[in-house]
Each structure stands twice: as C-alpha cells, then as structure tokens.
Amino acid sequence: MHTQKLKKTVPPFLAGMMFSILTLSSCKTTNPSKSEAAAFDATNLKVIKGFTILENLPQAFTWYASYRQILTFALGEDPGDPLDASDGNYQILQDKVNKLWSTYQQLHPDRIGGVPAPLVVILQNIDANAFATYDRATGIDPNIFFVNTGLLTEKFKKNSAILGVIAHELAHHALGHTKPGESEKVSKFYRKSSGSEPLGRLQKNDEGIEKAVGSWIEAAQMVGPFPLPELTGYPAPTIGTPFLYTAAMAAAAANSTRESCQQLPGIAFEASRAVSQNLNHATQTIHFSKPESLSLIRASAGKYNTSLRSCLEGVQVSIMDILLALQKTTEEKALDGSFLSSKELGVIKRKGNLAESLIEFAQLMSERKAKINRELNLDLFRIYTFEEQADDEAIQALLQLGLDSAPLTTFFRLSVPEEHLAACDSSASSNTIPPYGILSDKHHSICYRIFHAAEVEKSLRAQ
Ligand SMILES: [Zn+2]
C-alpha cells in the first residue's frame, strides 16, 4: 500500500509519514500523549522471506506502541488499544488466520513457504476491519495481522463474513502488497469488452490506456474523483483521501497552536459531509436529490478554503516540500512517471503562500480531470489492481477450504448502507453489470465487487 510516485495511488498508509513535517514547525498530533513512544529495535529478530518474525504478543504490543502514531495519521484516527492478551478471541482469530495462511502457502509456496502465520493483534476499534502493515520507520515488514473488535460482533458471524474480510486482508500480507512499491507492480490497464466484463487477472496491460487514464487518476488522487465544479479547491475525502487534503491536514497539524488550524479538521469534515450526503457508496456515484445540494457544497468548499488561508497564513513552503516529507522520497522519484505539465509543476514547487498554492493546484487538477472527461469516456476503461487481486485470492483460498465466495460477499453486503444495497440487487436481478466505480479507487465499487466475486468463483470452478 505504499508508493513513491505521484502517478499512483497516494495510499492511506502514506499519510502516516508526516513526522518529517516537524521540520516546518512543531508538530502536534491528534494523540500527543502517545508521541513519545520509543523506537522499536528489530535487530535481533528473525527475518524469513522478508517478514520480521515477532514471537509473542508482548513483543507485538511493543512494536505496535512504537508504530501506533504513524498508523494514527495513516488511518485518520487512532487504531485503538490492543485487547488484553488473555482474551479468548485471540485463539479463535489466530485459528482462522492459521487456516487461511496455510492455504495461501499452498497457493504461493515460493513466496511464503516456511513463513509462520502472522500473529493476530486485536485492536479495540468499532470499525469492522482487519489490516496488515509495513513499518516504514524501521523498514521492516512485521509478521503481524490486525483485527478490530468491530468484526467480533454477532452480525459478522453470518456466512462467516469475518473469514471473508480476513481472507482479503491476509492476501495483501501474503502477496507483499504492504511493502513499498509492490502493489503498483500488479496494475494492468485495459478496455472493457462490449456487453461483457472480462476478468482483470486474465488481461494484458495496454500502455496507451495506462497513459491516458493514468493522467486522470493522478489528478483524481490529488484532488478527488468527482467532477463537480463546486468542489474546485476542496479535495473532499469521500472515497479515498486526496493528497491535497492530507497535505493540508499535515500543514495544519504542524501549526496546531493556531486556533484556525485546530478548527480546520472540523470544517473539512463539514465540507466533506456535504458531498458524502449525496454519494451512493455502493455504486460510487453522486446523485443530487435536492437542488440546494450544489449550493451547499459550494458554500462548504468556500468555508474550507477561507479556513485554510487563515490557518496557513505566512506559511511559505511548497506543496512539493510536503509531498517529499510525507512520502520520504526524493523529487526525482516523486516525479518519475508523473503527468504534471510545466504550469502544474510551477505551482507544486512554488515556495510561496502554501494555502494559495494548495487552492490553485486543486483548481488545476480539477481542470485537468474536466478536460479528460470531455475527451474520453472513462466508463470504457478498467484497471486490475492489487485490491482486485486480494479479492480474487480470497475467493481462491475460500474455495480451497471447501467454502464458496459467500464469506466475502456477505461482508461486502454488510458494509453497504441498506438504502444503497437495492442498487446492487436490482442490477443482479436484471442481469446488468453494476457500475465499476471510480477509476482512482483500487477496490472498485462494492456492487461491482459482489458481481465480480461471483464471476471469479464461476471461472475458478470451471478450471
Ligand atoms: Zn484491500
């Protein structure tokens, strides 16, 4: 989930790299009490096939304490306290992980044969999720797997939905997607066939499409995917977190003694909600039920920009400075493969008023997206991504265990707001292909993932 290139996803975990922003001024984080965690010493730990083996829960907790603040930035909130090691759920979850891990070992003996199953750490967090991560601070890939207590509730027992989400997340760990630069190697760009939907994993990469669509994706990753002129200058974190939003929040955190900077996250949330309220999460499309919605969004975006200007008054750094600090990379690497024009480059490198640069650059990225939207029908293009690969792998692992894709699709259905689920069901019953979702979201839309899971299962069973 890491990358050093502008053209690729700015993944959530990158947001955690903002400690270097300390150089701008003193950085106060959302959880300052935990900012003094000692660095983790991994020198005496065993490393097998690139995974650093943590032997027991106390060791895993120590590593987590050292990395928790980075994860807090990455996830946008504190991931939570670990559940006490004596809790009976550890054994239950570790058994599930062990079972899936040996399945992945059968599927990928070269990659993970001989690597012990990752150690489960349960975090007290109501968000129904699990995740693996790479430690950028020490450069190790800890053999740990996190599961939130939100997944331990009754509803995820249905059709073993918890097994589905663990299978997907564990595929990221097994395939090394968390390691810097790895997930990008999976991507393949292609065109959809008329009337049918080819399986991404069977497609070849089309360089022409990669170039055309990549330019749009770069802009969408900077400023957000939605083509609303009302949003110009406001990088709404709706589906994914646009880089210009992360950059603004990092700069605000670095100036957190200012009242306007303290207020900025709240104002950003308000502005974001104005967009989210009209967003269908199942299909990733925006519908405006009320005509006043657009003026509400315009007003919210305006308020965000006003607050940003006040918060960053007198801050004279470039957007590139922040990008390099967040991604711990060099300018050359950051720009490798980028589609930025000389005008766009001028703004991103300008060491002037940061707020003005952020707002102007957001505008330029919005214009670029609008231009490509006029020239290309983006609905015709597809990208096979590491997220799709994790879904495909999860289904293969579930089949290998004698199950079907239901654990995964049940989890998808449980994560869709009920009022949006009808959109998935109607497309399934009418035999139409659900909307793919926005191209900058590597997951694709939830409705599409449900449809895709059935297609993958069918194809694997036919093999
Ligand atoms: Zn994933």
Give the Å distance between the CA of 198 and the centre of ligand 1: 21
Q: Cα angle at 402 between 398 and 404, to 5 degrees?
A: 50
Give the Å distance between the CA of 336 and the centre of ligand 1: 25
Give the Å distance between the CA of 74 and the centre of ligand 1: 15
Does residue 103 belong to any structural domain of this protein?
A: yes
Same domain, 15 and 36: no
Give the Å distance between the CA of 9 and the centre of ligand 1: 13
Does residue 16 belong to any structural domain of this protein?
A: yes
Angle between helical axes of 89-107 and 386-400 (0-180°, round to 10): 100
Written as six digits, the tokens of 29 are 């984080």
Domain with 246, as residue range(s), is 1-22+188-384+416-463
Give the Å distance between the CA of 159 and the centre of ligand 1: 20
Written as six digits, the tokens of 144 are 């740990």
Domain tally for the chain?
A: 2
Give the Å distance between the CA of 169 and the centre of ligand 1: 6
Q: Whole-angstrom Cα distance, residue 145 to residue 183? A: 18
Give the Å distance between the CA of 172 and the centre of ligand 1: 7
In this prediction, residue 37 carries a pLDDT of: 63
Same domain, 164 and 144: yes
Give the Å distance between the CA of 308 and the centre of ligand 1: 32
- With H, G, I as helix, E, B as strand and everything else as coil, classify residue 142: strand
Same domain, 267 and 298: yes
Give the Å distance between the CA of 167 and the centre of ligand 1: 10
Smallest Cα–Cα separation from 225: which of 215, 233, 216, 213? 216
Full pLDDT tens readout for the chain, 463 residues: 332 233 233 333 232 222 211 112 222 223 333 444 678 888 899 999 999 999 999 999 999 999 998 887 677 678 999 999 999 999 999 999 999 999 999 999 999 999 999 999 999 999 888 999 998 888 899 999 999 999 999 999 888 999 999 999 999 999 999 888 888 889 999 998 877 888 999 999 999 999 989 999 999 999 999 888 888 789 998 888 899 998 999 999 999 999 999 999 999 999 999 888 888 888 888 888 788 888 999 999 999 999 999 999 999 999 999 988 877 778 988 888 889 999 999 999 999 999 999 999 999 999 999 999 999 999 999 999 999 999 999 999 999 999 999 999 999 999 888 888 887 887 777 778 888 999 999 999 999 999 999 999 999 999 8
Last residue of a domain, one of 174, 200, 230: 174
- With H, G, I as helix, E, B as strand and everything else as coil, classify residue 383: strand
Give the Å distance between the CA of 132 and the centre of ligand 1: 10
This prediction has a pTM of 0.86
Give the Å distance between the CA of 297 and the centre of ligand 1: 30
Listed residues: CB within 5 A of ion ligand 1: 387, 390
Q: Whole-angstrom Cα distance, residue 55 to residue 144? A: 10
Same domain, 35 and 15: no
| Strand arrangement, sheet containing 144-148 | 119-123, 144-148, 130-131
Give the Å distance between the CA of 71 and the centre of ligand 1: 16
Beta partners for residue 130, in sequence order? 147
